[in-house]
Structure 1
């Protein structure tokens, strides 16, 4: 082997780099272990210990460079959320709201219709919203001018009255890009101040989407509030409760009248003017009297709801005796009734009764510990444009502080000079009244003004915890978001589930590793097997070291990728060993056989690994999250396995040969295994075609009849993994939650019988900031009401029982579906082109593609036929698509090696018949096919049984696919090449 010195130097340097990178992980683990020992289970003490070590030097690199614990932690091999717990969120900046804002909230009918149409189109399109809006506007009004809508004060220098629609759209695209970049920077600032170790924040390819990964986070509600808050701060004057109550009383009567007409059209309308003259106290007393229950309590409650539809769900802010409290609060209601109250107050007939400058806003915080009741506050809209007299853009600083008594946390704010003037005037004009401080549409506090406040200082009170105050100050200090950002996809993994994933992942890795090492020793003798095992160990070391060097994150699919890479890495050694054996059987010396064997194996090794590499690249390009982690591991593993299999083993053998040591490549038990078989593959091809045909027909029928168990990746929805104290029945959980979600959710056992996976599409198309918390609250209430979780609080349920949550919005699921289809098609096209170029015959490409389509259809057919019958999930999701692409890569690897031997034999034996040549080539590769397939299947079985619940479906797909792929490579691919060549010859002769 030439350049042995250079290879040795490269291997040593690579090893040193890997040791250097992995030392960061080793040192970080040392400190964290010491922290656990010190804390003895106390999480707070553990965190204090780690904080104290932050600036301490823990790694001294040969006296050249010293690293603190903080630096070491930043450079360690990170664990994915599925291994350590945490939150993965995809945010989408609402370009819809941004476009509306740029139009100065135009009421133009064409504009509003175009907005609605573009929003509908966006559900099934990956084009940006501005482009869809432009197309929609042109459809509705072909001769309409966007300049007349967007020639606003803010855009006066960019949009002229005579600007073309194309020019206006170009301006809108530039403005949205700037806004998205600003939103990204604001979110990054918020996360940096949030204090999460190793957060990952990046803009995605789709415009307006931002990925945020927060390892170790265990409070999803807090994160949702932090990420989705726009920091739209407003200071409003208010009405007093006594001023608003008469209008609410009239509204109550008008609503009763409207509802009565809807249910009983024949009933005459009631004179609301006369009824409005009822005094405040008498109406309150009547409401209280009707609400009391007795023997006929049900009827009286029903009658009260008909007579007082508003006040039956909105409790007026008054004493038990009916005296109205002073202040801006006008009533209290349960959270589940707030939407109904909003709809009542938005009725045109009701709005006509109210003053034009009266508006209502709910408080952000509940008034009770169980967070069920919220307060309605009366806002006075004094400005002509409907904007608040003072907004958050005047805030120059915000910080967490404490009230005068020092007991309650609050947020202190400082304003600029202009804001200080307005604030002084506002407080002076409202002495004795309340001023509502509103953030993102919800009232954070509404303090009573005792006197004029100068100097531009104000505060937000009524906060429950220091964390809430810090987050609120963080949001305000980071700045106002140009447009709202909503969560369209999220994945939350609890720490206990993450720890279980680590345990199961490393168990599968260890068992698979030992099985592969044992097989190589058994099949290829002690010396040759040991050389392959050394190469395998070095390969895993290099693979993990490179992952650490590039800052990759290790995920559970990533561990599966490492384990699978081990099985596939054996393939190169098997190819080399089999070729060396062939040379030795031809009578060559061991030294010459090693030399020729390596040279003969290069072509097949490179062709096989390149095709697998292509599918790995496609997986990386089209995948996301854990799937991209799997692809990264697979790609690096292929490169490192090529290096170790070709060069490390060769160095070992040449060193042994230099010492004149005898080397054998088989054992007595395996020497003749599958070596002299003569199976007539070509002659029997129609039998194999028939078997494949039957399986494909069964699969296609199942596609039509049963379909697939689609995961939320492809249909959208929310998934919750909930763990209970005792075993539960899925049908009982379904029955308990069906009335809560207005439809029966999909409930499956997830691992043990005390853990279930609940999937629902309830409110998945809603994009309000609080919808995720609302659905989670409904899940909690439904399970608590059915007595499945006992008397635990919502916070305990979220942190203990709720093991993981996942959300995929409709636009995300649509993109994932298209990406999955493109990934499969693109990989097939790439492989076809590569095979045609390498083998210079389109028939080889056709045989390979037909074989791969066969593998994909039957693997999908197995999932279609078997879902619902096996005790684990067979959902079609991103992981399944990754498995199909991996199968494609493995199967074509197998096929290409057979093709390579056919090409070689056709060159060596040009006078033989094509069928004889192909049979000879296929039989000669059976030993290699057997060893490679067996080692890969051994590895997959280890992952399947020990790798954990979350990747069981993924591994099952690989098991089916690898088995079917091996079959098609041997029994379908080459026979198809034979048939097409013979038909082409026949046509040419004709």
Structure 2
């Protein structure tokens, strides 16, 4: 090996850099451990709510030492910024994908156009988006073009005042499209910047925010975030701040009376109509089982005798609106009336009716009814009437705000102080001057909620204003943050989310580390057992490889996830494979009688081609996974790719440095132990002679798999069908069937399965899957709490139960939501990933081996493996004691199976090609059998070590990746089999028909000669 000195220097420098990068993680972890010890000393376990008190104490400790140097001038604060990023599944937190509404952006660009063609195109695009890979904008353009004579540059669409500098009436649709695309892209970029600024002020370390292509989606990852509701509100709040003049309550006294009378008449007509329609149904019901209904009749008679109830019923019928009023406002004030919070939907319905609106009269015709912000624990809410106009535009909008800070008002209440720009200050002064003169109020409205409506005694100059309300300090800080960052240009819906509680994250770390250590120990011991002292050098190279992987991950700022740990552990098996290939080739050269130095040189040289081919094919699948994957899957692909590169370097160069250094003075170095010296040495098997049996076995397995896939199908997870999943933990063993029946009563449709231990279940539901609002999330969790309450610890509240709640040991430990639109996108991406990897590998092998027969054999083997893995999952998911959902992690497993199977196949093909070049006069059948037999030791060795590694992760690696590992275990077994009994025979059969063996002998003669030569 040339340039040994240069390689040594590079390896040492690279190792030191990795140690430096990892030192930040060590320092941050050490300080946090000290903080936990400090908190444990300060807060005893017998104190009420001690987990939160300890958390606060630890946080206070970290704040106090954050800027103090810990080691070599490195502070905790700087170490925390550069530590190895932990993913959601290891640290807990929230991961969401937000969909910026392109429809809203288009409506805004069109100045709220009501053009029929424009609205119809928007509606059609909305319908098509769920089942189309195209973006909403492209679908809108296509649908608009279908409208005869429709012009994007129409004054009723985009040729309006706000876009006059970019679009004129003479432009064609083709000329307008790129302008609209640019405007949409600018708006999404603006939304991205607004969200990033909000998140930067939130206080989470190592947040991640990125745009996802041109889809209008934005990924936000906040590891360690615990206040889930606060985060969701921060991300989705549009921050539509407006300042409105308001009417005095006395203006609406007559309106309420007249509206109440009109409603009473209207509702009576509707009631009479419904009674006529239902008369036959009621008669039929009355004729059934009078005896059975006797008790109910007695109750009805009792109720009918209650005069108070009668009076109330009559009053609510004759005064439907007034009967809902729970208090009147000051006639000179802005509050028209107080209503019950539970009645707001009814009141909204009443006030929106045409017969009610007609009573507003000319003076109040543009009145806009808006609710106030209810006080904490209050059951009533205020109703205001804003002085709107024909265009429904406020007097002043929040775009004029240049700064906002949390503050306190004159009586010490929490408030938000705002500063306006020059233009805003001028309008604000005009508004307050008018309000002071007329003794009226100005409503400060945020996202259609009146936060305050203060009276004004004097004009306010300088553009200063204040929002007061029932704020906590954190709420006020968040509101100030949102107002400083500005409003989102359109609503942002959470189309995918994953929330993981911190205790579940810690368990994932523990299980991941356990599986890592067990797998590593086995591999280290096995290499020494099988290869003796050479195995020790391979183990040292493996340790260096692990240092490199973690160092590179820390240096790149990559996120370590639980599948990422699995990727590292799998990389251990792959790096061993490279050393196994080298050592097996050296043993072969020694058996040929070569001296040790030459055998080592030729062994490394001959193994290089196989190592490169095997790792490149695996790398191709990893690269495709990186491109199409998201979240933890991307983390798996990242560690896999980094591991492939570092494994190649350590196996080819580091191991070589140690072996050459030991053997340079002629010291004998054995590449085997007494137990393994002659294991599989000089073995020759007629594999091709068994291929027909293999074809039959594989054919049966494939037919059974296809049958199961068509009848039993697959257990598709929410990644592919949309919906929500919740991992719920109890303090006792529970029966999933009982829980499912109770949940179904509340949600209508849900699936409950035991997930890991007997006290933990996973709930999956598609209840209101199309509704993106955060209120649905609360509604489902409240339904789960009600359904599961009898199984929860005594005194357990909803605040304890919900995800991110007060109790970290029981309740909802994690949740995940995938909207139907993004589920379709995930399915498409998975399809592209699998078939893209097959095509990429086919082309690479074709390029590398120069014959399509090799490519066909490899793809046939891989397809065979994928079908069988799918078939086993289809046939067994209903009774396996762990989750076998088909999700993104499963797609990662399939691609890894493809990579592993190809790795095996390429090594075999490489040896066949080598024999073909060395013995051109041999018959192809003999070359193939010798090639497969020559790699048998390596194949079994690598498969065994990889299988043990996977089993360690499967057993000790945690519930969330057990299905993932099971797929890989099947893949390794089936992949090892297919590389010998599918890939090679298919290649041979297609090559033999083309006459590649240059032989005129028939197949029977070839087989007979092969058998005799082996004998």
Tell whether the structures are fold-level matches, with TM greater than 0.5.
yes
TM-aligned CA deviation for residue 507 of structure 1: 0.4
Q: What is the match of residue 417 of structure 1? A: 425
TM-aligned CA deviation for residue 914 of structure 1: 1.6
Q: Of the candidates 169, 174, 178, which is equivalent to residue 182 of structure 2?
A: 174
**Is 1:212 equivalent to 2:217 in the alignment?**
no
1:310–1:77: structure 2 CA closer, same or farther, 3 Å change rule?
farther
Conserved? CA contact 1:423–1:456, under 8 Å: no
Separation in 2, partners of 1:818, 1:401: 50
Conserved? CA contact 2:66–2:77, under 8 Å: yes
1:774–1:156: structure 2 CA closer, same or farther, 3 Å change rule?
farther
Separation in 1, partners of 2:172, 2:622: 46
Residues 802-853 of structure 1, C-alpha deviation per residue, up to 9 Å, x if partnerless?
2111111122111111111111111111111111111111000000001101
Residues 55-79 of structure 1, C-alpha deviation per residue, up to 9 Å, x if partnerless?
222332xxxxx43332221111111
> Secondary structure at the residue paired with 1:140?
coil
Q: Of the candidates 362, 366, 370, which is equivalent to residue 371 of structure 2?
A: 362
1:508–1:366: structure 2 CA closer, same or farther, 3 Å change rule?
farther
**Is 1:817 equivalent to 2:827 in the alignment?**
yes
Separation in 1, partners of 2:405, 2:253: 35
Conserved? CA contact 1:383–1:389, under 8 Å: no
1:682–1:350: structure 2 CA closer, same or farther, 3 Å change rule?
farther
Separation in 1, partners of 2:487, 2:125: 26
Separation in 1, partners of 2:550, 2:110: 53
Q: What is the match of residue 858 of structure 1? A: 868
**Is 1:797 equivalent to 2:802 in the alignment?**
yes
**Is 1:609 equivalent to 2:621 in the alignment?**
no
Q: Which runs of 5+ in 1 are unaligned?
A: 61-65, 269-290
**Is 1:56 equivalent to 2:71 in the alignment?**
no
Q: What is the match of residue 398 of structure 1? A: 404
1:314–1:943: structure 2 CA closer, same or farther, 3 Å change rule?
farther
Q: What is the match of residue 34 of structure 2? A: 34
Q: Of the candidates 839, 843, 859, which is equivalent to residue 849 of structure 2?
A: 839
Q: What is the match of residue 477 of structure 1? A: 484
Residues 384-440 of structure 1, C-alpha deviation per residue, up to 9 Å, x if partnerless?
21112222123333211123222x311122333223224314533663x55432211
1:73–1:299: structure 2 CA closer, same or farther, 3 Å change rule?
farther
Conserved? CA contact 1:254–1:349, under 8 Å: no
Q: What is the match of residue 976 of structure 1? A: 986
Separation in 1, partners of 2:269, 2:485: 46
Q: What is the match of residue 522 of structure 2? A: 515
Q: How many residues align structurally?
A: 954
Greater mean deviation of Cα atoms: 411-420 or 818-827: 411-420
**Is 1:892 equivalent to 2:902 in the alignment?**
yes
Separation in 1, partners of 2:425, 2:893: 61
Q: What is the match of residue 957 of structure 2? A: 947
Q: Of the candidates 581, 592, 595, which is equivalent to residue 586 of structure 1?
A: 592
Greater mean deviation of Cα atoms: 701-710 or 785-794: 785-794
1:480–1:657: structure 2 CA closer, same or farther, 3 Å change rule?
same
TM-aligned CA deviation for residue 352 of structure 1: 4.2
TM-aligned CA deviation for residue 734 of structure 1: 2.2
**Is 1:924 equivalent to 2:895 in the alignment?**
no
**Is 1:118 equivalent to 2:118 in the alignment?**
no
TM-aligned CA deviation for residue 362 of structure 1: 3.5
Separation in 1, partners of 2:567, 2:319: 61
> Secondary structure at the residue paired with 1:709?
coil
Q: What is the match of residue 263 of structure 1? A: 274
Conserved? CA contact 2:92–2:505, under 8 Å: yes
Separation in 1, partners of 2:744, 2:437: 53
Conserved? CA contact 2:153–2:168, under 8 Å: no
Separation in 1, partners of 2:764, 2:794: 18
TM-aligned CA deviation for residue 978 of structure 1: 0.9
Q: What is the match of residue 906 of structure 1? A: 916
**Is 1:245 equivalent to 2:267 in the alignment?**
no
1:235–1:529: structure 2 CA closer, same or farther, 3 Å change rule?
same
Separation in 1, partners of 2:950, 2:305: 65
TM, length-normalised to structure 2:
0.89
TM-aligned CA deviation for residue 341 of structure 1: 4.9
Separation in 2, partners of 1:946, 1:143: 63
Separation in 1, partners of 2:317, 2:652: 80
Residues 67-95 of structure 1, C-alpha deviation per residue, up to 9 Å, x if partnerless?
33322211111111111111111112111
> Secondary structure at the residue paired with 2:758?
coil
TM, length-normalised to structure 1:
0.91
Separation in 1, partners of 2:160, 2:994: 69
TM-aligned CA deviation for residue 979 of structure 1: 0.7
1:234–1:772: structure 2 CA closer, same or farther, 3 Å change rule?
farther
> Secondary structure at the residue paired with 1:684?
helix
TM-aligned CA deviation for residue 135 of structure 1: 1.1
TM-aligned CA deviation for residue 594 of structure 1: 1.2
1:978–1:544: structure 2 CA closer, same or farther, 3 Å change rule?
same
**Is 1:185 equivalent to 2:193 in the alignment?**
yes
Conserved? CA contact 1:85–1:492, under 8 Å: yes
1:312-711 equivalences in 2 (<5 Å)? 316-319=324-327, 327-328=334-335, 330-334=337-341, 338-339=344-345, 341-354=347-360, 356-365=365-374, 367-368=376-377, 373=379, 375=381, 377-406=383-412, 408-415=413-420, 416-425=424-433, 427-428=435-436, 431=439, 435-447=442-454, 453=460, 455-525=462-532, 527-711=533-717
Conserved? CA contact 1:314–1:331, under 8 Å: no
Q: What is the match of residue 48 of structure 2? A: none
Greater mean deviation of Cα atoms: 859-868 or 306-315: 306-315
Q: What is the match of residue 164 of structure 2? A: 156
Q: Which runs of 5+ in 2 are unaligned?
A: 44-53, 280-298, 1003-1015
TM-aligned CA deviation for residue 11 of structure 1: 0.8
> Secondary structure at the residue paired with 1:519?
helix
TM-aligned CA deviation for residue 630 of structure 1: 0.7
Conserved? CA contact 1:719–1:807, under 8 Å: yes
> Secondary structure at the residue paired with 1:201?
strand
1:530–1:776: structure 2 CA closer, same or farther, 3 Å change rule?
same
Q: What is the match of residue 1005 of structure 2? A: none
Residues 5-25 of structure 1, C-alpha deviation per residue, up to 9 Å, x if partnerless?
111111111111111111111
Q: What is the match of residue 285 of structure 1? A: none
Separation in 1, partners of 2:959, 2:633: 16
Separation in 2, partners of 1:780, 1:447: 40
Residues 670-712 of structure 1, C-alpha deviation per residue, up to 9 Å, x if partnerless?
2232334433211111111111111111111111111111111
Greater mean deviation of Cα atoms: 341-350 or 928-937: 341-350
Q: What is the match of residue 277 of structure 1? A: none
TM-aligned CA deviation for residue 28 of structure 1: 1.6
Greater mean deviation of Cα atoms: 654-663 or 419-428: 419-428
Separation in 2, partners of 1:297, 1:199: 65
1:921–1:340: structure 2 CA closer, same or farther, 3 Å change rule?
farther
> Secondary structure at the residue paired with 2:337?
strand
TM-aligned CA deviation for residue 955 of structure 1: 0.6
1:334–1:584: structure 2 CA closer, same or farther, 3 Å change rule?
same
> Secondary structure at the residue paired with 1:154?
helix
Separation in 1, partners of 2:35, 2:636: 32
Separation in 2, partners of 1:299, 1:671: 101
Conserved? CA contact 1:740–1:778, under 8 Å: yes
Conserved? CA contact 1:379–1:436, under 8 Å: no
Greater mean deviation of Cα atoms: 634-643 or 581-590: 581-590
* C-alpha RMSD of the superposition: 3.0
Separation in 2, partners of 1:315, 1:608: 78
TM-aligned CA deviation for residue 727 of structure 1: 2.4
> Secondary structure at the residue paired with 1:928?
helix
Separation in 2, partners of 1:624, 1:49: 36
Residues 120-161 of structure 1, C-alpha deviation per residue, up to 9 Å, x if partnerless?
122223433222211111113344454232222211222212
